[in-house]
Amino acid sequence: MVNTKTPAGAARVRVLGGPTALIEIGGLRLLTDPTFDAPGQYEVGPGQFLTKTAGPAAAPAELGPVDAVLLSHDEHPDNLDTSGRALLGTVPVVFVTESGAQRLGGNARGLAPWQSAQLSRPDGGTLTITGVPARHGPEGCEPFTGDVIGFVLTAPDLPTVYVSGDNAALEPVEAIAERFGPVDTALLFAGAVRTPLFDGALLTIDGAMAAQAAGILGARRVVVAHVDSWGHFTEGRAEFDAAFAAAGLTSLLAD
């Protein structure tokens, strides 16, 4: 998906499939959760598999230079697969959870919630990358789902961009809105992932929660990711769009 509602100065966002999107802002090119493997089954535990149903819209070699990867977490193949791991070593820096940076090593830089780092822009300015909280399931899920982080991109002369990562709660969104809202662009990972491990509780937001999140953030534009290419998503783009229509927020959605 290529966003066609991008005014001058705003971020350009191209969703490549699953949670993988290329963000262009301030002359920098940032890639979220890289997943470039072919369709197939991917083991997540003894006898447990996730099924990838479609490949990406572009291969890594077709993307051109990437200045940084924004990796919400490194422990699930639908957010970081084999090809994605290979790509990590080709970029200058990978922003990820603190625990993820320990596992990945090399150019991985861990960010705690509310911790920031700066990237130099080609025009001489800087882009601030702030790690923000996310929760990949119901309260207390971390021992099972692992740590997850979102990101907010800011600069004095650029619109604010929020990247949710795999998040299933609105409380983190409320805290983010208090510090950074309103945001120009919200890249929301949805898909309404559920698991019997938590009696069917959400591991990522559904469309209705995404519409609520957009309102909380005061988002001017919403780009959806993490709603296709994997069999365990219980909602796709159609359900996401329907939820925004029901909330009267269709005008926020990028094409």
Please identify which residue in the block is written with the tokens 């009696």. Answer: 199
Beta-strand runs (E) in the chain:
12-17, 20-25, 28-32, 40-45, 48-52, 68-70, 94-96, 108-110, 116-120, 126-133, 149-155, 158-163, 185-189, 221-225
**What pLDDT, on the 0 to 100 scale, is given for residue 232?**
84
| Three-state secondary structure call for residue 118 | strand
Mean pLDDT (the chain) is: 89
* H or E stretch at 134: none
Q: Is the pLDDT of residue 145 over 80?
A: no
Q: Calculate the alpha carbon distances from 90 to 59, 71, 173, 187 in Å.
A: 14, 14, 32, 24
Compute the distance between CA of residue 208 and CA of residue 64 in angstroms, rounded to an integer.
Answer: 35
What is the Cα–Cα distance from 141 to 144, expressed in whole angstroms? 6
Using 50, 70 and 90 to split pLDDT, how confident is the model at 6? very low
Give me the pLDDT at residue 9, please.
Answer: 62
Q: What SS3 state is found at 143?
A: helix
124-136, pLDDT tens digit by residue? 999 999 999 998 7
Q: What angle do CA 52, 55, 61 make, to 5 degrees?
A: 135
- Over residues 55-72, the pLDDT tens digits come to 899 999 999 999 999 999
**Amino acid identity, residue 108?**
A
User: Stretch 187-210: mean pLDDT, rounded?
Assistant: 81
**Res. 4 pLDDT band, cuts 50 70 90:** very low
Q: Which CATH number fits domain 12-252: 3.90.1150.10, 3.40.190.10, 1.10.10.60, 3.60.15.10?
A: 3.60.15.10
Determine phi and psi for 38, rounding to 5 degrees: -75, 165
Distance of CA 92 to the CA centre of its chain: 19
Taking residues 61-88, what's their average pLDDT?
93
State the residue for tokens 């996730």.
50
DSSP 3-state of 210? helix
